Amino acid sequence: MEDLMEDYEDVRKRVEEKGIVKAFEEDKDNIWKLLREKDPPYWDVFLESQEKARANIKVEPNGVKAGLPHEGTAMHEEAVAD
């Protein structure tokens, strides 16, 4: 995002005025477009890494990540390595 702000004054001004999160939320379609145009080969790598990251996160219906011990629950002794 910082690289993008160097090349696009309007994006930099919005980030300075509103903060990076608010500026992105309000103009994400344009920011995605600018990022894609700035470095197309990197964009493809970025999308692939995001898809892999999402595939690695599985969420149970209660909103807890699957496969992780729940807070306050004891682990089985077999799960503890010496």
pLDDT of amino acid 29: 93
pLDDT one-digit tens code per residue, 10-41: 888 998 999 989 998 999 999 889 888 988 99
Determine the Cα angle at 14 with ends 9 and 15, to 5°.
95
Phi (first) and psi of residue 14, to 5 degrees: -65, -40
Give, for 50, the enclosing helix (H) or strand (E).
helix 40-56
pLDDT one-digit tens code per residue, 34-48: 888 988 998 899 889
Among residues 63, 71, 62, 65, the alpha carbon closest in space to that of 53 is found at 65
Residue 21: partners with Cβ closer than 8 Å, 6 or more residues away: none
